[in-house]
């Protein structure tokens, strides 16, 4: 007969076995999450390599740059004309004053206007390029989607895709310019130091950047509701975080280099390396997002798991 001690031992063994299985499953989940995080990190560089090897995509980036240059040149000429009108108006009040004073007033106005335009141009270079680039991002998305293959989908209308890209780029610009403000409320929490607050801010902004950029290929494949996009990004948190944090780091470098020009009395030509870097990082992030979205959805869809069901169903409805 089975004794009470044997029953207790068997019960304890069952509990220990269940706990062991839970531990193994938890370890696998952690390991899988870490692997997905670094996969997301890698796809920023995959996107950069894909962009550099695709000369057809270069034109879709150079056109917005040319439009930005024309816009900045127009703003420069308009500012110069406005300053001249302002100088003539002010000098009209001091027509009888000594020439030296009139010359000093004119010099102060021109220097002030030049510094103002310099600061405005520095702050507007990246946003203007992104503004014009939003009209070409749908073509980049379509081109990369065709190149990497996958399930054929009917892309959204260009004006809808461009509107989504414009909305996303504007939000990304705000995050890059003011995302550091997230850490300020955290510093008021007892026990949270600057390093911890910075880490939390990096993770939060990284997830937001990942969501915003991945939303472009998601919209292309029919995932167009914000709630669906958020659920997709959360379901694939490791991929989204790894890709978003890395994207944040590579995109913030040219933004910071331009911001420094507002504080330092140097020539705008110093911004050239930062702008050139931005011309690589911005399309690299977008191309990487398209490639990563394909990676996320293609594998699960082939395996028939729930992770790929969302995109599979969307493709079916669009046929």
Evaluate whether 289 touches 44 at the Cβ level (below 8 Å): no
CA-closest candidate to residue 41, choices 250, 208, 279, 252: 250
If phi over 0 gives left and psi between -120 and 50 gives alpha, with beta otherwise, what is residue 245? alpha
Only one residue has tokens 């106005």, namely 109
Which tokens go with 258?
A: 């331009």
- Return the top range by mean pLDDT from 22-36, 70-84, 250-264: 70-84
- Average pLDDT of 127-139? 82
Which pLDDT belongs to residue 222? 87
Using CA atoms, how far residue 258 sits from 66, 117, 284, in Å, is: 18, 14, 20
Q: Are 235 and 307 in contact (CB under 8 A)?
A: yes
Give per-residue pLDDT as tens, 246-262: 998 888 877 676 666 55
Of residues 13 and 75, the one with the higher pLDDT is: 75
Tell me: pLDDT of 97 over 90: no
Q: Terminal CA-to-CA distance of the chain, rounded, Å? A: 67
**Whole-number percent of the chain with pLDDT over 90:** 19
CA distance 255 to 125: 9
Q: What is the pTM of this model?
A: 0.71
Residue with tokens 């310019």: 177
Segment 178-227, tens digit of pLDDT: 777 777 777 777 777 777 777 888 888 889 999 989 999 999 988 888 89
66 burial type by CB count under 10 A (0-12 exposed, 13-18 middle, 19+ buried): exposed
Across 168-172, average pLDDT: 82
Long-range CB contacts for residues 136-140, cutoff 8 Å, separation at least 24: 136/60, 136/61, 136/63, 136/64, 137/161, 137/162, 137/165, 137/169, 137/216, 137/286, 138/162, 138/165, 138/220, 139/60, 140/57, 140/60, 140/283, 140/286, 140/287, 140/290
């Amino acid at each position: 007969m089975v004794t009470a001690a044997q029953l207790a031992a068997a019960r304890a063994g069952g509990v220990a076995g269940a706990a062991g299985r839970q531990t193994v499953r938890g370890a696998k989940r952690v390991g899988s999450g870490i692997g997905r995080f670094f996969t997301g990190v890698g796809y920023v560089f995959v996107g950069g390599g894909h962009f550099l090897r695709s000369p057809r995509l270069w034109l879709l980036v150079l056109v917005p740059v040319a439009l930005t240059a024309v816009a900045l040149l127009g703003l420069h000429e308009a500012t110069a004309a406005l300053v001249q009108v302002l100088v003539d108006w002010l000098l009209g009040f001091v027509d009888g004053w000594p020439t030296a004073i009139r010359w000093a007033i004119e010099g102060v106005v021109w220097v002030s206007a030049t510094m103002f335009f310099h600061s405005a141009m520095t702050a507007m270079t990246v946003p203007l390029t992104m503004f014009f680039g939003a009209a070409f991002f749908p073509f980049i998305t379509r081109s990369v989607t065709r190149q990497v293959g996958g399930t054929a989908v009917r892309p959204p209308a260009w004006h809808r895709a461009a509107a989504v890209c414009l909305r996303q780029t504007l939000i990304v610009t705000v995050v890059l310019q003011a995302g550091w403000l997230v850490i300020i409320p955290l510093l008021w929490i007892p026990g949270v130091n600057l390093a911890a607050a910075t880490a939390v801010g990096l993770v939060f902004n990284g997830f937001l950047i990942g969501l915003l950029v991945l939303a472009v290929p998601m919209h292309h494949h029919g995932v167009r509701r914000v709630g669906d996009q958020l659920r997709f990004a959360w379901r694939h948190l490791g991929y989204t975080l790894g890709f978003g944090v890395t994207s944040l780091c590579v995109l913030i470098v040219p933004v910071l280099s331009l911001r420094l020009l507002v504080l330092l009395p140097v020539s705008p030509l110093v911004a050239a390396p930062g702008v050139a870097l931005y011309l690589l990082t911005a399309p690299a992030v977008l191309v990487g997002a398209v490639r990563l979205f394909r990676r996320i959805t293609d594998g699960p869809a082939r395996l028939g798991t729930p992770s790929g069901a969302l995109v599979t169903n969307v493709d079916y409805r669009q046929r």
